[in-house]
Amino acid sequence: MTHRERLLRTLRFQPVDRVPDYEFGAWEQTIARWHKEGLPEDYTGVWEAIPEYFHTDKGWLDLGLNVFLLPGFERKVLEEKDDHIIIQDEDGAICEMMRPELGASIPKYLRYAIETRKDWERIRDERLDPRAPGRIPANLEELCRKSWDSENPVSVFCGSLYGWLRNWMGVENLSLAIYDDPKWVEEMMEHLTVLKLSVLEKVAGKAKIDLGTWWEDMCFRSGHYFHQNILPNGWYHAIKG
């Protein structure tokens, strides 16, 4: 049974030789500690080390469509303060966190990329243009051809709605906007939807796609992370973690 067959049969609740095992990766500090505890130095990378060493499942054929911020923000250190640093992260937020060499910590956010409508309009125009070069891979036709005979599952990433706005605005600011200015929130989500559809339509009818994935993270510590998988013929599956 191929990796592709195994995953699709699992998601359709059909018999399989074994259930696929996908791991979500690890913190950099986890891999570094494992190296001290005996993990061979050849196994590196927060996403690569676990499947390579423990032989869990990997091997997606991703069609390379880019629905992210493009260009994304540069992650950079803005200030160093004793055992903490202040950084700009990939979502444009300014936050304070423990020095990575001292351990992992949840950042303290000082400013978000979107705090006003003008901030949103700038990011929309500069980083969320559906026509921006780089959203479609140069080898898309080749990837589409491979999708028909691939032994690995073929997927497209569909991004997020609430989760991305939460990253760009913060939970409190987005929550207030939903109450105080719902039309603005609707406008932002509509733009993200149009962006994704305009990119995804580039492969419509050209590839054999097994699933589309996206994420939403809105439950704090009292809920679950949902990873949605849309399958052909209306099948769908939600993986909670």
- Cis (ω within 30 of 0) for the bond into 71? yes
Distance CA 28, CA 63 (A): 27
Give, as one character, the DSSP assignment of residue 72.
P
Q: How confident is the model at residue 214 (pLDDT cuts 50, 70, 90)?
A: confident
Distance CA 104, CA 97 (A): 8
> How many Å is the maximal CA-CA distance in the chain?
56
Say whether pLDDT at 86 is over 50: yes
Distance CA 43, CA 47 (A): 10
pLDDT at 221: 66
Give the mean model confidence (pLDDT) for residues 67-83.
96
Distance CA 146, CA 209 (A): 11
pLDDT at 222: 67
pLDDT at 237: 40
pLDDT at 226: 47
Say whether pLDDT at 11 is over 80: yes
pLDDT digits (tens, 9 = 90+) for 17-62: 999 998 888 888 899 999 999 999 999 998 899 999 999 998 889 9
Full-model pTM: 0.85
Residue 241, amino acid: G
pLDDT digits (tens, 9 = 90+) for 118-160: 999 999 999 999 999 999 999 999 999 999 999 999 999 999 9
> CA separation (Å) from 238 to 112, 193, 216?
30, 20, 11
Q: Who's near 100: CB < 8 A, 6+ residues apart?
A: 28, 29
What token pair was written down for 188? 């932002």
Q: How confident is the model at residue 103 (pLDDT cuts 50, 70, 90)?
A: confident
Give the mean model confidence (pLDDT) for residues 52-78.
94
Give the mean model confidence (pLDDT) for residues 207-214.
91
- CB 192: neighbour CB atoms within 10 A? 20
Give the H or E element holding residue 85. Answer: strand 84-88
What token pair was written down for 38? 């005996």
pLDDT at 231: 45
Domain borders along the chain are 61-69+114-241, 74-112
Q: Provide DSSP, 88-99.
A: E-TTS-EEEEE-
Give the H or E element holding residue 180. Answer: helix 171-180
- CB 78: neighbour CB atoms within 10 A? 12
Distance CA 230, CA 238 (A): 9
Instruction: Give the pairing of strands 236-240 and 226-230.
Output: antiparallel
Distance CA 45, CA 205 (A): 35
